[in-house]
Structure 1
Amino acid sequence: MDIRGTDHIELYVGDARQAAFYFGTAVGFQLRGQGGPETGLAGQRSLLLTHADIRMVLTTGLTAAHPAAEYVRRHGDGIAVVALEVDDAAGAYAELVARGATGVSRPRTWTGAHAEVVTAEVGGFGDVLHRLVERRGDRDGFLPGGIEVTAPAAAQRPLLAEIDHLAVCVPPGQLAETVRYYERVFDFAQIFTEHIEVAGQAMNSTVVQSPSGRVTLVLLEPDATRRPGQIDAFLAEHHGAGVQHLGLRTDDIVTAVGALGERGVRFAGTPGSYYDALEERVGPVDAPLERLRDLNILVDSDHGGQLLQIFTESVHVRRTLFLELIERRGARTFGSGNIKALYEAKERELAAAAAVPQGVTA
């Protein structure tokens, strides 16, 4: 099956305009278009945002019966649709359903003056759907007659480049089944798998990727035999499987993090002692260590090279969805070495603090 890449993602949110304000002012996305009842999208308001090659749709249900309203009620704001670019949406839909996918929306053609788009939808993981998108003509048309592009892209230096991956949490016991589903139905292949243990917590991770290499899912499952951790917390707050974070690739993470931080994006902190042992763990890093320390940027390595990464704090009330910025310098993995390194760094800081006599400031 020819899946070229990720065409766009769609978030179901409680307030599309409020979400657009954050992604616009803080993350640097541009509002490019919108759709709603007046364009044939009954019961919803959708806003189209773009940044470089990343396209994001924010949709709010205007009635209690709309799927977006039901999704938000159950899961909170989150990624509800991962749209896949294909050559033949109708053919792909028929093939996927024949292989065992649940058909959700049959092929539909959207026609405009300069573009024609065919879409169809099938089930993915949890309540997340995959929208198959076939584009003909002007690619800026997006969804003619549904979500109309109303503003050209303003000139800007992009801080982000493209969607690198989506990290997906599934309940205990469902990882193997989910992996088989993507292998059997979508022709994805396993490219990485591991068991991660730290501080009495543990998780299993398997990465699956489309044959084109342009769509990557990092599938995470908590180890139910160990004490609960962050994956368990996500599943409890989200009420089931879903996208925990969206990985966005950047060509210059130091510049991107500095700029987004000035715009109001809050990033997860890193213990200072993490950087004391960094080059011993990953080798020489082609970036000023003090700058990485100031910005809380993490570094990991694999047989292909290094990667630099950082995670934002969640801005959602359930704290279930956040962003990752990642710069790849040859590495193809996803920074699992940082999980243990961060824990060990925190332990060193706690030990150092405990060694300071009472009444003395370290």
Structure 2
Amino acid sequence: MRTGIATVCLSGTLEEKLRAAAKAGFGGVEIFEADLVTSPLSPEDVRRLADGLGLSLDLYQPFRDLDSVPDEVYRANLRRAEAKFKLMGRLGIDTILVCSNVATASIDDDALRAEQLRGLAELAADHGVKVAYEALAWGTYVNDFEHAWRLVADADHPNLGTCLDTFHILSRGWDTEPIERIPGEKIFFVQVADAPKLSMDVLSWSRHYRVFPGEGQFDLPKFLGHVARTGYNGPVSLEVFNDTFRQSDVERTAVDAMRSLIWLEERTAQHLATSGAEFPAAPPTPARLAAASRAYAMPLTTLPQVAPPSGLNFAEIKADDAAPSMRALERLLGQLGFEARGEHRTKPVSLWTLGDARIILNRQQARGVAPAISALGFDVENAVSAVARAVQLKAAAVPRTSQANEEVLQAVQAPDGTEVFLCQDAAWTREFGSDGGEAVGESGGPGRHVARIDHINLAQPWQHYDEAVLFYSSVLALTPQPSQDVSSPTGLVRSQVMQTELVRGERAVRLALNLAPWVQADEVRGTVRDTFQEHIAVAVPDLVETARACRARGLRFLPIPENYYEDLDARYGLEPEFLATLRELDLLYDRDAGGEFLHFYTETVGSVFFEVVQRIGGYDGFGAPNAPVRHAVQHAAQRAQ
């Protein structure tokens, strides 16, 4: 698949954008007019730079408000267009994007529109230029891709075709099946963008909230599958307007963008391999996937196929060994019931276990580091294939020094810097002292009869939040759930759950990504800063019993206000004795259609705290109604420090 990206997607100068696109592996670029106009580079300089970087210049855009206008305005538009055609000749670009008219002083006449588009195409042909006509979602009279195609067909000129843009089509909810009735040779360009589903005017939605494929909620594989069936084999190019991306590091954004197209290419092949007359519905085996990827003029490359992870192997916390917080963290683990299994034979790293829950304390290169989650281990079928897939998805491999007789662990880096280890077993625990090996398989595998890691909650920097969603869905095959906003004393916290599918009532992996607010008070009142907090949740078979044992070991739970229990009683009418137990132990409670949920929180050490949970029946949530209570209590504790 020929990949491209519009310069409007990236931050920086035009030269920086081109260099970042080439470094990320893109084949081509769309030149956004404003980027050229504001650049000190001449068109010839831009052309030479692109050639040297191995980039094709695929599209010049946008040309606005050409059609549906009075004759004198149209003649002025043609003069403007001819100047752009000459400029494109200097750039070496042969296709221009023409948008449907959005002006109010326009004429609603399809015959006039077709005539004016044909006249533009005649002029374009004189300069060796092709015109790709696009229906903007907010076009005054043309806002539907089928309408735009009818105009192109009526104009009937070889230099006039259409441009299909996923945002303009999917934001309006148009049916995408009619795409297949457009001849592939008359589709001159394809632009793709994803977006969260929002209730707002489509122009504002488009200008601020587009994201890269896989980071929103549009069904892009289905869209591109229709395009592939037309016989189209031109560029598939990203056009994303997003305030965050335009403020982020240009090279990092380009890598995220390229990952999104690799993801989309593979998902499109999977879609085609399980749908349509060519490939009747069936599981996408490697052979069927390969056949689907070769069946169309647009080749679709696939990656090594991996199953979703089957469990959370471990969580790692990094901290300065000399800091009091490390002692506090070790004390907290002991109070929770974790046992110290020993020191690594060659590294300043220790292992703590509680049933199948494994926590690593890493003191390497941690001078001045307060306790924070630094790595996660996921159980996978084939670690080598999983890492190969991750690297092809532009994830950076994590180098790890291993001594003789030590396990060679495969790892890549997540967008927030967390190291993601892909493990086939827990044989690595044998490297931790004389009894470390006892932690391997001691419970006979994951299950609700022993303690295990239930979920991890990671805080994400605002500029990399969407990137993280795509990373975990593409690299680990986790399924993103609709995001939720949770109230806290400093604002709304956006939360995105990534998880595996239910298998026999169990989810192997649950990962919550939180975008937390960052607030700093003025100096008069003193500085108050809400640092990002993350936590590790451990599931136990009997929470009340566990809570009493933890209390006996001196553990201080996060204190829950009395008002919470009065509200809980009003909502659920719990048995008085059970409600009294919840009050006594600072436990929280939730209920859904599947079952019940009990949990408690510890105090925070560094940026890490622990949650202990019990799922009863088929409860499948995270106790979301209780999250505002936690945020409020933690916020009060921070202010008191």
Q: TM-score, normalised by structure 1?
A: 0.73
Task: Note if 1:195 corresponds to 2:485.
Answer: yes
1:47 maps to a residue whose letter is S
Give a deviation string over 1:168-211, Cα, whole Å, max 9, x none.
Answer: 11123433221122112221102352122355621111100135
Q: Report matched runs for 1:13-24 at 5 Å.
A: 13-15=319-321, 18=327, 21-23=330-332
1:280 maps to a residue whose letter is A
Distance 2:317 2:490 in 1: 34
Task: Give the SS at the match of 2:363.
Answer: strand
Shift of 1:131: 1.2
Aligned twin of 1:273: 563
Task: Give the SS at the match of 2:619.
Answer: coil
Distance 1:341 1:23 in 2: 22
Contact 1:78 1:321 in 2 (8 A): yes
Go from structure 1 to structure 2 and tell me whether the alpha carbon gap of 1:120 and 1:288 turns closer, same or farther (over 3 Å shift). same
Shift of 1:273: 2.4
Task: Note if 1:338 corresponds to 2:635.
Answer: no
Q: Report matched runs for 1:100-249 at 5 Å.
A: 100-105=394-399, 111=405, 117-135=407-425, 141-143=427-429, 146-150=431-435, 161-197=451-487, 201-211=491-501, 213-222=507-516, 233-235=530-532, 244-249=534-539
Contact 1:169 1:234 in 2 (8 A): no
Shift of 1:285: 6.1
Go from structure 1 to structure 2 and tell me whether the alpha carbon gap of 1:89 and 1:287 turns closer, same or farther (over 3 Å shift). farther
Specify which structure has the higher proportion of strand: 1
Distance 1:134 1:153 in 2: 17
2:432 maps to a residue whose letter is I
Go from structure 1 to structure 2 and tell me whether the alpha carbon gap of 1:261 and 1:106 turns closer, same or farther (over 3 Å shift). closer
Select 2:362's aligned residue among 40, 47, 59: 59
Aligned twin of 2:579: 289
1:191 maps to a residue whose letter is Q
Structure ranking higher on relative contact order (CA contacts 8 Å, 6+ apart): 1
Distance 1:147 1:170 in 2: 31
Task: Find the structure with the greater CA-based Rg.
Answer: 2
Shift of 1:331: 1.9
Distance 1:193 1:275 in 2: 27
Shift of 1:151: 5.8
Task: Note if 1:25 corresponds to 2:334.
Answer: yes
Distance 2:576 2:582 in 1: 11
Q: TM-score, normalised by structure 2?
A: 0.43
Select 1:7's aligned residue among 313, 316, 327: 313
2:494 maps to a residue whose letter is N
Specify which structure has the higher proportion of helix: 2
Shift of 1:150: 2.9
Distance 1:99 1:344 in 2: 39
Distance 1:311 1:160 in 2: 19
Contact 1:90 1:107 in 2 (8 A): no
Aligned twin of 2:590: 300
Contact 1:206 1:218 in 2 (8 A): yes
Q: Which runs of 5+ in 1 are unaligned?
A: 236-242, 346-362
Shift of 1:120: 1.0
Go from structure 1 to structure 2 and tell me whether the alpha carbon gap of 1:200 and 1:94 turns closer, same or farther (over 3 Å shift). closer
Give a deviation string over 1:130-173, Cα, whole Å, max 9, x none.
Answer: 112223xxx5x4355x43443675999x9961101111111234
2:390 maps to a residue whose letter is L
Aligned twin of 2:380: 86
Q: How high is the sequence identity, in percent, across the aligned residues?
A: 25
1:323 maps to a residue whose letter is F
Aligned twin of 1:46: 349
Task: Give the SS at the match of 1:251.
Answer: coil
Go from structure 1 to structure 2 and tell me whether the alpha carbon gap of 1:147 and 1:233 turns closer, same or farther (over 3 Å shift). same
Distance 2:413 2:310 in 1: 18
Q: Which runs of 4+ in 1 moved over 6 A?
A: 106-110, 341-345
Aligned twin of 1:348: none
Greater mean deviation of Cα atoms: 97-106 or 280-289: 280-289
Distance 1:337 1:205 in 2: 13
Distance 1:304 1:32 in 2: 37
Aligned twin of 1:350: none
Task: Note if 1:34 corresponds to 2:34.
Answer: no
Give a deviation string over 1:96-136, Cα, whole Å, max 9, x none.
Answer: 11122111137979747xxxx4411100242210112223x
Contact 2:557 2:600 in 1 (8 A): yes
Q: Which runs of 5+ in 2 are unaligned?
A: 1-305, 522-528, 634-641
Select 2:393's aligned residue among 99, 107, 128: 99
Distance 2:630 2:386 in 1: 43
Distance 1:187 1:151 in 2: 31
Distance 1:272 1:170 in 2: 32
